[in-house]
Structure 1
Amino acid sequence: MIAVAVAHRRGAFALEAAFTAEGRVTALFGRSGSGKSTLVDVIAGLVRPQAGRVVVDGVTLLDTRAGVRVPVHRRRIGYVFQDARLLPHLSVRQNLLFGRWLAPRGEGPDLAAVAELLGLGDLLARRPAGLSGGERQRVAIGRALLARPRLLLMDEPLAALDEARKAEILPYVARLRDEARVPIVYVSHAVAEVARLADTVVVLDGGRVAAAGPAAEILRRADLFPGREAGEAGALLHLRVAAHDEAFGLTRLDGAAGSLTVPRLRDPAGAPVRVGTSVRVRVRARDVLVALERPRTLSARNILAGTVVSLAGAEGPHAAVEIACGGAVLVAQVTRRAVHDLGLGPGRAVFAVVKSVAFDAETIGAGTEVEI
């Protein structure tokens, strides 16, 4: 478990934030300047707050009231920055092993295990100058992991990468989440990254916690996404691969909300992902239509029966409609006029309609097993 409570002022900016989390990945989410990086620097020990307490896995790293302040080098925290910060004169192997200097003996993974986990085996003899941005970040993650940390901090590790490099590295971060058994605090302002990786989301706004909780609950709240980003809110579903339609290049996923048809899911070798594989799917609010009757002559393949449970955002031109479909809740972003014309309100039976082509590499992920 991670427990953080911080009060710190730097110039005109005041950080007053507190949260607890028990999942494998806790995402600190918010706009630039909201206090995310300052908060992780406090956890790492790089910033000394005026008041605060940090506890990781039962170990108190900071307690200003009790006079406890564990030095940075004894906190056993790995830190991955936006830029890889590799030592240019050392090989990949040497950069990885650099993290072992302060690592406790006899604990955690060895070089071979980390190289396999992050796909670095063929890069060990190369120098950083000969690596792509995504490869350099994987080495930085491996170096932090070889320090055998009790906690891994990742401060917007994909922010400096282009979309192709982000797509390259995200599966490795997801695999790290699932296999490394090290809790991660992941800083980002990208909804797609948070939805794909996080168990818990802490939303920061102006130095304060605007919301915190399970990722599925936080990511469907359109009020936490300003302006045009409201359509990025949506449901986060945990589904399983049920079948493949090779003739039409589609895959059927089953779960609490019902069945969804998506573009065919393939493993890295190009073969269909095995039936029964668990996947994480984000259904964006902007991709959901609402109908009062089941459409019969419509190209969209995903039509789920449900009941409206709430409306939000009635003060603007759009409204977020939460729809209970089986054991899950979808969110649709519609106009206020649509709410009026359809008579939408709690208890109204509706159908949620989602195009199969709305699903892409940003909305579906399951570690290294799934590609679109």
Structure 2
Amino acid sequence: MTLSVRIRHRQGDFLLDATFESSGRLTALFGPSGSGKTSLINMIGGLVRPKSGRIEAGGRLLVDTEARLFVPKYRRRIGYVFQDARLFPHMSVAQNLGYGRFFTPATERYADFTGVVDLLGIGHLLSRKPVSLSGGEKQRVAIGRALIASPKLILMDEPLASLDDARKAEILPYIERLRDETKIPIVYVSHSVAEVARLASDVVVLSAGKVTASGPADDILSRFDLLPEEERAEAGAMVDLAMAGQDEVFGLTVLHSAGGEWRLPRIDAPAGATIRARVRARDVMLAVERPVGISALNVLPGKITAIAAGEGPDALVSLDCGGDRLAARVTRRSIDALSLTVGREVFAVVKAVTFDRGSVGGPSGLARDPFTLQVPPQQEARTSR
């Protein structure tokens, strides 16, 4: 589904003037606090009416101020997951989940209750009230409520912002499953590079109410100039790694990519599963000769494709390692000392211990029954009349 946005909206002294188009499975609206992310997602969801502009999702026009068209939120078929779960405290989990169905015509329902519960691992919570749930459990129920409404699009406004690191680690795999195993596109608001790198297929960068860049996550998150200053240490590249085996003696996992062999701290996944890893530029060292006698376990040959040096002491070196795109953050002094130039062959060196739970995504391609969104047989019969 393609999401096309072109809006202009002033609220007080703040002007939101944003234009972008995305067909990604999970499009992240990324930027610092106050950049306009929540205002923009609220306009997509119908919670805010823009002063002027046009919003189209999947070929369906939701807003066109010139034509005086504004589809109300209850008719947009959009699921919304907020920062706080916003569950009804007097209802059980099962009742909260079922509430999402009320506004969806019976002939348009495709989400199976049991399938959603299994996808999110909340079967054991169905009889409980929200007050007894952890923050991560509440957010999983909130996602389930949005999904059971059979939406055509899901909006998630910083759903992990109120959670501690342990709860974030708990819920991230479920968002990955939602992204990978359903056909529902997601728009995800965040100011965290780590979250966006792990989840997003596409990124729209906002700053002071304007879109400064948009495109594939790999392209956007490798550029220091597009990231807020406080997040630039997290810049880097994403690499897809295929599970090859386990090094049981040393607690490591062996993986393969287009660039070569990798060793990371143990990942529990079957052979053949694909792992998405974020390789931060600050964690990549460069060598002009294959290094020997070093502790780092990951050494990949590559070629320099670009060097971007700013006014400060550091620079960003872009690499092509057999098809894997990596980036290294080094000093300008190192560039001079090693005579690094575009086209030069080098070795990228990455320590295994730099990878943590936040930089390694959940496996895809697992041997399990995928969660499929299909029209239930009884609804299919009604629809065909």
TM-score, length basis structure 2: 0.92
Q: Which residue of 2 aligns with 1:257?
A: 259
CA distance in 2, matches of 1:43, 1:362: 29
Q: Which residue of 2 aligns with 1:270?
A: none
Q: Which residue of 1 aligns with 2:205?
A: 203
1:26, 1:186 within 8 Å by CA — same for their partners in 2?
yes
Deviation at 1:229, TM superposition (A): 2.5
Structure 1 residues 131 and 299: CA distance shift in structure 2, 3 A: same
Secondary structure, in 3 states, of the residue corresponding to 2:106? Answer: coil
What are the within-5 Å matches in structure 2 for residues 106-117 of structure 1? 106=107, 107-117=109-119
1:28 correspondence with 2:29: yes
Deviation at 1:180, TM superposition (A): 2.4
What are the within-5 Å matches in structure 2 for residues 97-176 of structure 1? 97-106=98-107, 107-176=109-178
Match of residue 271, structure 2, among 271, 275, 281 = 275
Q: Which amino acid aligns with 2:321?
A: C
CA deviation map 1:151-174 (0-9, x unaligned): 100000000000000000000110
Q: Which residue of 2 aligns with 1:309?
A: 305
Q: Which amino acid aligns with 2:360?
A: I
CA distance in 2, matches of 1:313, 1:43: 38
1:103, 1:146 within 8 Å by CA — same for their partners in 2?
no
Q: Which residue of 2 aligns with 1:329?
A: 325
CA deviation map 1:261-283 (0-9, x unaligned): 111111xxxxxx11110111110
CA deviation map 1:214-272 (0-9, x unaligned): 11111111211233532211111112112221111111211222221111111xxxxxx
Q: Which amino acid aligns with 1:40?
A: I
Structure 1 residues 166 and 327: CA distance shift in structure 2, 3 A: same
Q: Which residue of 2 aligns with 1:294?
A: 290
CA deviation map 1:285-314 (0-9, x unaligned): 111001111110100010111111111133
Q: Which residue of 2 aligns with 1:269?
A: none
Secondary structure, in 3 states, of the residue corresponding to 1:62? Answer: strand
Match of residue 231, structure 1, among 230, 233, 238 = 233
Structure 1 residues 189 and 171: CA distance shift in structure 2, 3 A: same
When the two structures are aligned, how many residues end up with a matched partner?
A: 364
Q: Which residue of 1 aligns with 2:43?
A: 42
Q: Which amino acid aligns with 1:329?
A: R
Q: Which residue of 2 aligns with 1:69?
A: 70
Gaps of 5+ in 2: 367-385
Deviation at 1:368, TM superposition (A): 8.1
Q: Which residue of 2 aligns with 1:346?
A: 342
Secondary structure, in 3 states, of the residue corresponding to 1:248? Answer: coil
CA distance in 1, matches of 2:281, 2:155: 30
Q: Which residue of 1 aligns with 2:359?
A: 363
1:27, 1:186 within 8 Å by CA — same for their partners in 2?
yes
Structure 1 residues 228 and 297: CA distance shift in structure 2, 3 A: farther
Q: Which amino acid aligns with 1:233?
A: A
CA distance in 2, matches of 1:342, 1:36: 42
1:183 correspondence with 2:185: yes
Secondary structure, in 3 states, of the residue corresponding to 1:20? Answer: strand
TM-score, length basis structure 1: 0.95
1:312, 1:319 within 8 Å by CA — same for their partners in 2?
yes
Deviation at 1:122, TM superposition (A): 0.2
Secondary structure, in 3 states, of the residue corresponding to 2:272? Answer: coil
Q: Which residue of 1 aligns with 2:17?
A: 16
Q: Which amino acid aligns with 1:78?
A: G
Identity of aligned residues (%): 56
Deviation at 1:146, TM superposition (A): 1.1
2:274, 2:364 within 8 Å by CA — same for their partners in 1?
no
CA distance in 1, matches of 2:221, 2:259: 17
Match of residue 193, structure 1, among 173, 191, 195 = 195
Secondary structure, in 3 states, of the residue corresponding to 1:135? Answer: helix
CA distance in 1, matches of 2:230, 2:16: 26
CA deviation map 1:48-93 (0-9, x unaligned): 1111111111111111112211111101111100000111010000
1:281, 1:364 within 8 Å by CA — same for their partners in 2?
yes
CA distance in 2, matches of 1:227, 1:172: 30
Q: Which residue of 1 aligns with 2:373?
A: none
1:175, 1:367 within 8 Å by CA — same for their partners in 2?
no
CA distance in 2, matches of 1:259, 1:367: 17
Q: Which amino acid aligns with 2:29?
A: L
Q: Which amino acid aligns with 1:225?
A: L
Deviation at 1:104, TM superposition (A): 2.6
What are the within-5 Å matches in structure 2 for residues 77-88 of structure 1? 77-88=78-89
1:241, 1:252 within 8 Å by CA — same for their partners in 2?
yes
Q: Which residue of 2 aligns with 1:60?
A: 61
CA distance in 2, matches of 1:132, 1:232: 29
CA distance in 2, matches of 1:88, 1:249: 44
1:104, 1:148 within 8 Å by CA — same for their partners in 2?
no
Q: Which residue of 1 aligns with 2:220?
A: 218
How much is the aligned-residue C-alpha RMSD, in angstroms? 1.4
